[in-house]
Amino acid sequence: MNVRLPQPADFSAPPSPAQLQRWSDADAALRPARLAALRARARSEGVDAVLLTAHADARYFSGICFGPNDEPTAGVSGWLLISSDAFAIFADSRYTVQARREATLATPLDPGSDPGAAIAAWATANGVRKLAADPGAIRHAVWERIVAAGSGIELVPAKGWSAELRAVKDATEIERIAAACAVADRALAALLPKIVDGATEAELAWLLERGMREGGAEALAFDVAALAGGNAALPHGNPGARPFKNGEVALFDFGAQVAGYRSDMTRTLFVGSASDDDLALYQRVLDGQQAAISALRSAAERGDAALPSGREADNITRAAMAGAPGIYEHGLGHGIGLQTHEAPSLSRGASERPLPSPTVFSVEPGIYLEDRIGIRIEDLVAIDLAGRSLRTLTLFPSAPLITG
Amino acid sequence: MNVRLPQPADFSAPPSPAQLQRWSDADAALRPARLAALRARARSEGVDAVLLTAHADARYFSGICFGPNDEPTAGVSGWLLISSDAFAIFADSRYTVQARREATLATPLDPGSDPGAAIAAWATANGVRKLAADPGAIRHAVWERIVAAGSGIELVPAKGWSAELRAVKDATEIERIAAACAVADRALAALLPKIVDGATEAELAWLLERGMREGGAEALAFDVAALAGGNAALPHGNPGARPFKNGEVALFDFGAQVAGYRSDMTRTLFVGSASDDDLALYQRVLDGQQAAISALRSAAERGDAALPSGREADNITRAAMAGAPGIYEHGLGHGIGLQTHEAPSLSRGASERPLPSPTVFSVEPGIYLEDRIGIRIEDLVAIDLAGRSLRTLTLFPSAPLITG
């Protein structure tokens, strides 16, 4: 079945320092427009300012870059306060130098030990009466403190304003996601000779991580999942001492981060051999995935008035897989960029509004038979309605592949 | 100055599978007592149940182990609800199998898309009227939803109950922290020949990470900091393309995770040579660190009625360093265990109550001269008042060391 196994050299090399600099310059040039778009949203919603707390937002709007594990220790550093004419970034003493260097448009503000009071003080000083914030992101104690400390400040629940802006990707963002896909594609191609009977999940997870980290990834997008046989039926499994075995599947779900942007891919390979039954299941998943991708491609290439919704895309795959056993309970896909999971969502519960454009998301149906087998195929696609195109960014082949 | 550079073989080998199994068995045996202690606290505070949301608590009380990067995607999975006679763990469909396998004392509960309502429903079904939760950990929307959905349920703000229990370490927890220290010690010893003029921060950060990951660490405790020369004055710097240079310092702040428990150490090495001025600064930091450690050791060995407080310990080091330039603004140290930063705190703002016992914490004073040099020395110590002992768990020497 395998005419030729994919080779690392089939995929793009990691970006050069000059390319990284061009991307950094592009971000700096785009940042004022991003701020303007958020301010326009605030104005149209009748609020005076917006509070943002995610590190992805901090990077997108201000340029400050936290490490992948900075979240737990950064505390409230990296929070943004944006009004029509002011822009502040929280940076405690550990981050003030970094904020001065990286968040050049923003004014560093020390949150001290009472960030709620610091926010209220900033609002008062900047004439902000209505402040938009996401109650699903802000901790209860901070929310209450802002209200208590800021006499007359109204906190307006707001959700997804920045996520909606970030869902629409510019060309240089898509280039970076494609570069992260190539790092992952290449690492899996290099791993193929090691995916043999007896290798353990934990060993191969580490080799795949090491391949990405030494092959252009500044970080992982998330922990590598390397799951053998029946373990592949667990949507979230931690790689352990379980060995891969001839005739079973080897499922790898992994992603890289390049210049801040992330990839996410899943391949389910067969170790040594594959039964006809398992190959038939694989084909059901692949057909289901291609059904949604084809429909989205047609809509884009025809130049429809609007793209299908994320809910419709999920429906298309479920309809194509009807009658198969163990059809996925999770969503069909998710947007990706500075975060591994971001807007838009493609799932049964997703919005019925058309997908944004241009945007990038995963398409990842699966079949899971508990304790026996799990098969998932995940690719990232970039869709551009105005450009009448859909492009698959994951270039590692998705046809069934037997290793070893 | 260097009689002999530390070698990897100077430090303990990674734990064997049998040792890992003994630790896992010890946890299982201790878990009922941990639950009983939390229930006693709830009773003494007059509440009917406790809500816990940290993954460290999930592991400590229930046994479920999330991966280091599970936090962002796990959503509300791993939240615990503990009353006098019920014990539930939130596990959405991605985690139900794992919860059944690992959290054997707890009942899995699907949070669905409305965790606040699920908590309220559980409380009602279990006769819980007063539910303790940490407003600094729960998001505002969830807090409000519990109150709105649970007619008559009172949310009682509670902070640090589990952290206080976890601050007191049993012998097998200290063994695991010591094992994580040894993994880090060994990795740094193996790195020494690479710390030479021209090597970059990012290269050495990766080699140190790789050394830990291939030398017994299941994960990092946090991102490696590898900082050259003036960059070492940044308390939180991301390793970049800056090269180490002869005559400058190389600061490494890093830690490993072994069987769930973490280490944290900092060494500031001199590349090639060291000026007398810089060696004198180094000695000021080392003397300051040893002042606190000696005072704590004396208190433990004498069998004082109580240990000094975290605030006193910090004061002792600051007094010993008085007059030195650029004395650290951060705290002297922090507890460590399942989390890199946990109770107790040793700092100017720390509690004036005696330190708990037995416990493990870092002692990490520093001197930072912006753009010129940063020096920090960080060791973990285990103190046991009843056992009349203080033991340094970080065994890599802290005397000044010149590489290359």
Of B97, B140, B223, the CB nearest to A140: B140
The reply to whether residue B71 touches residue A69, judged by beta carbons under 8 angstroms, is no
Please state, in angstroms and rounded to a whole number, the distance separating the CA atoms of residues A112 and A110: 5
Full-model pTM: 0.94
Please report the number of interchain residue pairs, chain A to chain B, with beta-carbon separation below 8 angstroms: 111
Residue A1 has pLDDT above 60, yes or no: no
Partners of B96 on chain A (C-beta within 8 Å) are none
Residue B260 has pLDDT above 70, yes or no: yes
Distance (Å) from the C-alpha of residue A2 to the closest C-alpha of chain B? 33
**B329 CB within 8 Å of a chain A CB:** yes
What proportion of chain A, given as a percentage, has pLDDT over 90?
89
- Residue B289 is predicted with a pLDDT of 98
Interval A351-369 mean pLDDT? 97
Domain boundaries, chain B: 8-15+167-403, 48-157
- Residue B2 is predicted with a pLDDT of 55
A91, closest residue in chain B (CA to CA): B236
**pLDDT, tens digit, 9 for 90 and up, residues B297-314:** 999 999 999 999 999 999
B116, closest residue in chain A (CA to CA): A136
Asked whether the CA dihedral A206, A208, A209, A215 is positive or negative, the reply is: positive
Please state, in angstroms and rounded to a whole number, the distance separating the CA atoms of residues A110 and A115: 8
Q: Considering only residues 73 to 92 of chain A, which have any Cβ-Cβ distance to chain B shorter than 8 Å? A: 73-74
Which residues, other chains included, contact A69 with Cβ-Cβ below 8 Å and sequence gap of 6+?
Answer: B68, B220, B222, B223
Please state, in angstroms and rounded to a whole number, the distance separating the CA atoms of residues A31 and B147: 40
Residue B108 has pLDDT above 60, yes or no: yes
Residue A92 has pLDDT above 90, yes or no: no
Of B72, B144, B235, the CB nearest to A94: B235
Distance (Å) from the C-alpha of residue B4 to the closest C-alpha of chain A? 32
Interval B119-135 mean pLDDT? 97
Mean pLDDT lowest for which of A186-195, B229-238, B354-363?
A: B229-238
Q: Which among B369, B295, B303 has a CA at the least distance from the CA of B332?
A: B295
A236, closest residue in chain B (CA to CA): B94
Provide the edge-to-edge strand list for the sheet that holds B219-220.
Answer: B219-220, B256-258, B261-262
- Residue B391 is predicted with a pLDDT of 98
Mean of the per-residue pLDDT values of chain A: 94
Please state, in angstroms and rounded to a whole number, the distance separating the CA atoms of residues A340 and A175: 16
- Residue B74 is predicted with a pLDDT of 60
- Residue B151 is predicted with a pLDDT of 81
A370, closest residue in chain B (CA to CA): B97
**pLDDT, tens digit, 9 for 90 and up, residues B2-38:** 568 999 999 999 999 999 999 999 999 999 999 999 9
Interval A160-184 mean pLDDT? 98
**pLDDT, tens digit, 9 for 90 and up, residues A372-395:** 999 999 999 999 999 999 999 999
**B303 CB within 8 Å of a chain A CB:** no
Partners of B65 on chain A (C-beta within 8 Å) are 238
**B68 CB within 8 Å of a chain A CB:** yes
**A329 CB within 8 Å of a chain B CB:** yes
Q: Considering only residues 16 to 55 of chain A, which have any Cβ-Cβ distance to chain B shorter than 8 Å? A: none
Distance (Å) from the C-alpha of residue B299 to the closest C-alpha of chain A? 31
Of B72, B97, B236, the CB nearest to A95: B236
Residue B89 has pLDDT above 90, yes or no: yes
Query: Is residue B374 very low, low, confident or very high in pLDDT (cuts 50, 70, 90)?
Result: very high
- Residue A357 is predicted with a pLDDT of 98
Pick the CATH number of A8-15+167-403 from 3.50.50.60, 3.40.50.2300, 3.90.230.10, 3.40.50.300: 3.90.230.10
- Residue B97 is predicted with a pLDDT of 85
B88, B122 contact by CB (below 8 A): yes
- Residue A371 is predicted with a pLDDT of 87
Partners of B71 on chain A (C-beta within 8 Å) are 71-72
- Residue A361 is predicted with a pLDDT of 98
Q: Which CATH class for the A48-157 domain?
A: alpha beta
The reply to whether residue B223 touches residue A138, judged by beta carbons under 8 angstroms, is no
Residue A235 has pLDDT above 90, yes or no: no
Interval B237-251 mean pLDDT? 90
Residue B1 has pLDDT above 60, yes or no: no
Query: Is residue A71 very low, low, confident or very high in pLDDT (cuts 50, 70, 90)?
Result: low
Interval B237-241 mean pLDDT? 78
Q: Which among A80, A134, A138, A146 has a CA at the least distance from the CA of A107?
A: A80
- Residue B240 is predicted with a pLDDT of 84
Cβ atoms < 10 Å from Cβ of A200? 16
Partners of B73 on chain A (C-beta within 8 Å) are 222, 236, 340-341
Interval A107-132 mean pLDDT? 95
Tokens read off for B79:
């939240």
Q: Which among A378, A379, A373 has a CA at the least distance from the CA of A394?
A: A379
Query: Is residue A67 very low, low, confident or very high in pLDDT (cuts 50, 70, 90)?
Result: confident
Query: Is residue A146 very low, low, confident or very high in pLDDT (cuts 50, 70, 90)?
Result: very high
Question: Residue B18 class from Cβ within 10 Å (0-12 exposed, 13-18 middle, 19+ buried)?
Answer: exposed
Residue B258 has pLDDT above 80, yes or no: yes
Tokens read off for B55:
């993954």
A198, B47 contact by CB (below 8 A): no
Total residue count of chain A as it appears in this document? 404
Provide the edge-to-edge strand list for the sheet that holds B87-90.
Answer: B107-109, B87-90, B80-83, B49-52, B130-133, B154-157
Distance (Å) from the C-alpha of residue A201 to the closest C-alpha of chain B? 13
**pLDDT, tens digit, 9 for 90 and up, residues B37-85:** 999 999 999 999 999 999 999 999 999 998 776 655 567 889 999 999 9
Residue A212 has pLDDT above 80, yes or no: yes
Please state, in angstroms and rounded to a whole number, the distance separating the CA atoms of residues B372 and B351: 34
Mean pLDDT lowest for which of A58-72, A118-132, A151-165?
A: A58-72
**pLDDT, tens digit, 9 for 90 and up, residues A285-331:** 999 999 999 999 999 999 999 999 999 999 999 999 999 999 998 99
Query: A338 by DSSP, 3-state: which?
Result: coil
B91, B77 contact by CB (below 8 A): yes
Mean pLDDT lowest for which of A65-79, A339-353, B160-174?
A: A65-79
DSSP B149-199: HSTTPEEEE--SHHHHHHHSPPHHHHHHHHHHHHHHHHHHHHHGGG--TT-
Query: Is residue B93 very low, low, confident or very high in pLDDT (cuts 50, 70, 90)?
Result: confident
Query: Is residue A72 very low, low, confident or very high in pLDDT (cuts 50, 70, 90)?
Result: low
Beta bridge partners of A374: A368
B136, A139 contact by CB (below 8 A): yes
Total residue count of chain B as it appears in this document? 404
Classify A69 in phi/psi space as left (phi over 0), alpha (psi -120 to 50) or beta.
Answer: alpha
Please state, in angstroms and rounded to a whole number, the distance separating the CA atoms of residues A25 and B359: 49
**B144 CB within 8 Å of a chain A CB:** yes
Read off φ and ψ for residue B47, nearest 5 degrees: -110, 160
Read off φ and ψ for residue A329, nearest 5 degrees: -95, -25
H or E segment to which residue B359 belongs? strand B359-363
Dihedral angle computed from the Cα positions of residues B207, B235, B342 and B314, in that order, rounded to the nearest 10 degrees: 130
**B347 CB within 8 Å of a chain A CB:** no
Inter-axis angle of helices B115-125 and B140-149, nearest 10:
40
The reply to whether residue B98 touches residue A236, judged by beta carbons under 8 angstroms, is yes
- Residue B241 is predicted with a pLDDT of 84
Cα A383 to the center of its chain, rounded Å? 15
Of B144, B238, B329, the CB nearest to A67: B238
Distance (Å) from the C-alpha of residue A203 to the closest C-alpha of chain B? 10
Specify the higher pLDDT residue, B123 or A370: B123
Q: Considering only residues 223 to 282 of chain A, which have any Cβ-Cβ distance to chain B shorter than 8 Å? A: 223, 234-238
The reply to whether residue B139 touches residue A144, judged by beta carbons under 8 angstroms, is no
**pLDDT, tens digit, 9 for 90 and up, residues A17-32:** 999 999 999 999 999 9
Inter-axis angle of helices B140-149 and A140-149, nearest 10:
100
Q: Considering only residues 200 to 219 of chain A, which have any Cβ-Cβ distance to chain B shorter than 8 Å? A: 206, 209-210, 213-214
Partners of A242 on chain B (C-beta within 8 Å) are none
